[in-house]
Amino acid sequence: MSLFVPLVILFFISATGMILYVFQKINQTVLNLLIALGAGSMLAVSLVHILAESLESSELAIYAFMGGFIVVYLVEELLTHHQHDHRHGDHTHEDPHEHYNHVAMVTGVAIFIHTLFDGLGIRAGFGISNTVGYSILFWVAIHQIPVSLSLAAIFQESNFRKKTQIGALFLFALAAPIGFYISDLLLAHTSEVMTALTIAFAGGSLLYVSASDLLPVVHSQSRYKYLTIACFVIGVVGMSAVKLLE
């Protein structure tokens, strides 16, 4: 049976975040709730999915994971220049939209790499049987929805041009199908350990973004504080449950 149809379905599910661009203006509270959901989802993805799976292939994965965390921290602290700071009294703070520029970039790259290897996992599953393949595809599709919506919310908070934002989401939606179709090439030329280290590095960077850049959004909410916290917890529990049920 051709796998074209399920992969097309996976693409559209992964592109769920583009729904946010259908509306002329999204309420800021809705964006903050989606970002809180994303903070929880990405925290669970980085630890429960990426780190746990990487360690199954190599004990060195923990060091690659830490490396990803530290590298993104250093880039953010030392190499990122902010040109739109605003002054209030005797202090300045970063323009929130520029802050989300590098948050969106790091999150997009890390999630793309993770989803690319999800595509490899789907391909490997179909190599065993159609039942296993469709099972893996189903679970990947489930966790793509909140991730896609959260990623879209993060990009909408940045000051990237709308075409750039939509293009990044389109590329993210293609990640799993791309991973599926180039799986034979990647598996033939990449060792299992190197694959695990690459994924772990992406997971560490994702953990940093979740804990350092997105989680403060949860803390900063006052009007809908408990609803925002609930979205964060739902993200953590939901993504962890997906892994448990797999």
Overall pTM surpassing 0.85 (yes/no):
no
**Residue 90 pLDDT > 70:** no
Is the pLDDT at 168 greater than 80? The verdict is yes
pLDDT tens, 127-167? 767 777 787 788 788 778 888 988 998 898 888 899 999 99
Predicted local distance difference test score (pLDDT) of residue 236: 92
Predicted local confidence at residue 232, as pLDDT: 92
DSSP string computed for 109-155: HHHHHHHHHHHHHHHHHHHH-HHHHHHHHHHHHHHHHHHHHHHHHHH
Of the ranges 54-58, 135-139, 219-223, the best mean pLDDT one:
54-58
